[in-house]
C-alpha cells in the first residue's frame, strides 16, 4: 500500500486482514467498493483471485465493478 492511500481505505484493508468472519469481511469489501478508487479495486481483485469460483467470487466481481464506477474525489 502506498503512502497516498486514504486513511479510511487503509483502515478497511487492515481490518479485512485481521478477520476471518465472512459476514464482517463482506461488509468491509462492500465499504471498499463504495469508496472506489484504484487501491480498493486492486485489493478486491487480489481477494477475488485467491477465492475459488463460486458465489463468493461472483460477489467480489460485482464489488470490483462497483468500485470501478464509484466517484473518487
- Mean pLDDT (whole number) for 8-36: 95
Residue pLDDT, tens place only, 37-49: 999 999 999 999 9
Total of domains in the chain: 1
Residue 1 lies in a domain: no
Residue 4: predicted pLDDT: 65
Which SS3 state, helix, strand or coil, does residue 3 take?
coil
From CA 11, how far away is CA 58, in angstroms rounded?
24
- Does 53 or 49 have the greater pLDDT score? 49
- Mean pLDDT (whole number) for 58-64: 96
The percentage of the chain sitting over the pLDDT mark of 70, rounded to a whole number, equals 90
Residue 50: predicted pLDDT: 95
- pTM for the model stands at 0.87
Residue 13 lies in a domain: yes
Structural domain including 34 reads 7-69
Alpha carbon distance, N-terminus to C-terminus of the chain: 19
From CA 38, how far away is CA 36, in angstroms rounded?
7
- Mean pLDDT (whole number) for 19-32: 95
H helices of 19-54, in order, are 22-35, 38-50
E strand or H helix that includes residue 64: helix 55-69
Amino acid at each position: 500500500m502506498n503512502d497516498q492511500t486514504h486513511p479510511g481505505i487503509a483502515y478497511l484493508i487492515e481490518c479485512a486482514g485481521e478477520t476471518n468472519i465472512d459476514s464482517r469481511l463482506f461488509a468491509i469489501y462492500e465499504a471498499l467498493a463504495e469508496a472506489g478508487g484504484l487501491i480498493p479495486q486492486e485489493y478486491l481483485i487480489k481477494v477475488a483471485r485467491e477465492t475459488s469460483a463460486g458465489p463468493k467470487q461472483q460477489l467480489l466481481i460485482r464489488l470490483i465493478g462497483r468500485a470501478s464506477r464509484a466517484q473518487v474525489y
